[in-house]
Amino acid sequence: MSAASTVPSDIVSLRMSHCRAEHAAASAQYHLAVLHYRTCLEAAERREDCRAVEFFALKLAGCYDRMGLGQKAASFRALAGNGDSPLIG
């Protein structure tokens, strides 16, 4: 199997993880959201997609804030490079 043929399934997997994370976060199931957002973050890092890394790091920071884990939230904000982003909604 060539690398090019694995890219679409990687994108599909990323999208599925993102949808699961969003659903979990909307249901205040932050432990599940974190699990799925971390999967997304790792995929973004593998793809070397800086904007996606920032996006998912900030999503993780938001979840950790809601869980009362400010220090973890701060580490993901630092990974994102800044604390505010128009990508987060």
Model-level pTM greater than 0.85? Answer: no
Query: In order along the chain (89 residues), what is the average pLDDT of each group of 10 residues?
Result: 52 93 97 97 92 96 97 96 50
pLDDT at 33: 97
pLDDT at 38: 97
CB atoms within 10 A of CB 16: 13
pLDDT at 87: 46
Q: How far apart are CA 65 and CA 58, in angstroms?
A: 10
Q: How far apart are CA 65 and CA 39, in angstroms?
A: 19
pLDDT at 75: 96
